[in-house]
């Protein structure tokens, strides 16, 4: 159970506000708050701030972003679950919203019933990369190598229970290989050790390793999307070897449960309109993200499917929350 003290500490020590909206956005009214369960500067935070900047003028209101990191995003989620369903308090969440449903033995909220799904903002594909010292040239060769040397290869993990951690677990589950996890406190140190050859393999967001791949410092073995990525046309999809394999991080906008239909639709429409703006799409592309903007009904069904999908992988991994 997340304690009130933890929420207060997080609120006081880590809160970060970003006022969004052009000069013609309404000033003086109650601002719309988007809570982010991750520190400032990360992918979720960056996407939330980009969305807030584009949504403000569409809604004609000030939109702010507040960081409430901790407990894998659960602190921010609990605050939104308990907020008034008036559309003034929203949540920008990520794949862990679905993973945490199984990863945490007891949550202070229901990840489906206590929220109003508004829209999936974007997905972020990842890529399986290796230090050049690893002899495998592609996924097929990696699986063969791992079966020849069970327990001798390793995956760097930026955060236990993250979507990238689970991408590796899904890979092991489907391929039947034994690869050891090496957890890190963040993506940056994991990538640095991968570059230095201290670890051998890693599932990473494309934006975090693209430059290293292009410079020849890392070797791209496969992408986690169902099909090949335009940015890496010569890198096969892992699904070409493991049919049905797919694992992309997603970022979505939620409100509290029991929001009025007109209010939820208005916010969802504003977010989706913002996602169509050229500057917003360019910002997403810079982050290596792909805009989505589906309907509340589609996003709700997607989240429920993700919870079921990742439950099997989490149980297989034996992962415990940090």
pLDDT single digits (tens) 177-224: 999 999 998 888 999 999 999 999 999 988 889 999 999 999 999 999
Q: Which of 37-41, 84-88, 150-154, 304-308 has the lowest mean pLDDT?
A: 37-41
Asked whether residue 208 is domain-assigned, the answer is yes
Question: Do 91 and 158 have their domain in common?
Answer: no
Q: Whose structure tokens read 């974007």? A: 122
Question: Do 282 and 297 have their domain in common?
Answer: yes
Handedness of CA 183, 186, 189, 194 (dihedral sign): positive
CATH at residue 179: 3.40.190.10
CATH at residue 64: 3.40.190.150
Report percent pLDDT > 90 for the chain.
75
Asked whether residue 322 is domain-assigned, the answer is no
- Is 175:201 a contact under the CB 8 Å cutoff? no
Mean pLDDT of all residues in 256-271: 95
The pLDDT score that the predictor gives to residue 76 is 97
Check pLDDT > 60 for residue 4.
no
The pLDDT score that the predictor gives to residue 29 is 65
Residue 133, judged by CB atoms within 10 A of its CB (0-12, 13-18, 19+), counts as exposed
Report percent pLDDT > 70 for the chain.
91
Check pLDDT > 80 for residue 9.
no
Check pLDDT > 50 for residue 319.
yes
φ, ψ of residue 108 in degrees (nearest 5):
-80, 15
Mean pLDDT of all residues in 252-276: 96
Type and span of the H or E element at 118: strand 115-124
The pLDDT score that the predictor gives to residue 297 is 96
Asked whether residue 266 is domain-assigned, the answer is yes
Please tell me whether residue 257 adopts helix, strand or coil conformation. Answer: coil
Strand runs labelled E in 138-267? 154-157, 180-183, 201-205, 219-223, 249-256
Asked whether residue 23 is domain-assigned, the answer is yes
pLDDT band at 41 (very low <50, low <70, confident <90, very high): confident
The pLDDT score that the predictor gives to residue 282 is 86
What is the spatial distance between Cα 221 and Cα 316, in angstroms, rounded to a whole number? 23
- Give which of 239, 258, 267, 240 is closest to 34, Cα–Cα: 267
- Is 112:123 a contact under the CB 8 Å cutoff? no
The pLDDT score that the predictor gives to residue 64 is 97
In total, how many domains does the chain have? 2
> Which segment, 139-143, 228-232, 276-280, is predicted with the most confidence on average?
139-143
Asked whether residue 56 is domain-assigned, the answer is yes
Question: Do 40 and 139 have their domain in common?
Answer: no
Check pLDDT > 50 for residue 15.
no
Asked whether residue 200 is domain-assigned, the answer is yes
Question: Do 213 and 66 have their domain in common?
Answer: no
Check pLDDT > 70 for residue 67.
yes
Whole-number Cα distances in Å, 149 to 119, 180, 194, 238? 44, 11, 19, 20
Check pLDDT > 70 for residue 85.
yes
Question: Do 37 and 93 have their domain in common?
Answer: yes
What is the spatial distance between Cα 98 and Cα 164, in angstroms, rounded to a whole number? 13
pTM of the model: 0.82
Domain limits at 147?
Answer: 126-240
């Amino acid at each position: 159970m997340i304690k009130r003290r933890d929420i207060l500490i997080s609120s006081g020590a880590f809160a970060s506000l970003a006022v969004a909206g052009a000069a013609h956005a309404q000033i003086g009214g109650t601002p719309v708050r988007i809570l982010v369960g991750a520190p400032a500067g990360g992918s979720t935070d960056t996407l939330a701030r980009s969305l807030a900047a584009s949504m403000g003028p569409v809604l004609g209101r000030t939109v702010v972003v507040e960081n409430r990191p901790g407990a894998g995003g659960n602190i921010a989620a609990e605050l939104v679950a308990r907020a008034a369903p008036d559309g003034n308090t929203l949540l920008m969440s990520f794949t862990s919203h679905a993973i945490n449903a199984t990863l945490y033995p007891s949550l202070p909220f229901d990840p489906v019933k206590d929220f109003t799904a508004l829209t999936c903002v974007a997905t972020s594909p990842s890529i399986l990369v290796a230090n050049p010292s690893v002899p495998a040239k592609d996924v097929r060769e990696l699986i063969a190598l791992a079966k020849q040397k069970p327990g001798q290869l390793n995956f760097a993990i930026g955060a236990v229970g993250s979507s990238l951690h689970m991408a590796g677990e899904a890979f092991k589950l489907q391929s039947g290989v034994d690869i050891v996890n090496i957890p890190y406190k963040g993506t940056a140190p994991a990538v640095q050790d991968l570059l230095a050859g201290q670890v051998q393999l890693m599932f990473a967001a494309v934006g975090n390793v693209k430059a290293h791949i292009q410079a020849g410092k890392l070797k791209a073995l496969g992408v986690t999307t169902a099909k090949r990525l335009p940015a890496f046309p010569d890198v096969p999809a892992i699904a070409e070897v493991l049919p049905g394999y797919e694992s992309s991080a997603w970022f979505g906008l939620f409100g509290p449960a029991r929001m009025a239909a007109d209010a939820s639709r208005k916010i969802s429409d504003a977010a989706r309109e913002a996602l169509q703006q050229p500057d917003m799409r360019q910002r997403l592309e810079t982050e290596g993200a792909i805009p989505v903007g589906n309907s509340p009904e589609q996003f709700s069904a997607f989240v429920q499917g993700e919870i079921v999908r990742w439950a099997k992988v989490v149980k297989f991994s034996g992962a415990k929350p940090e």
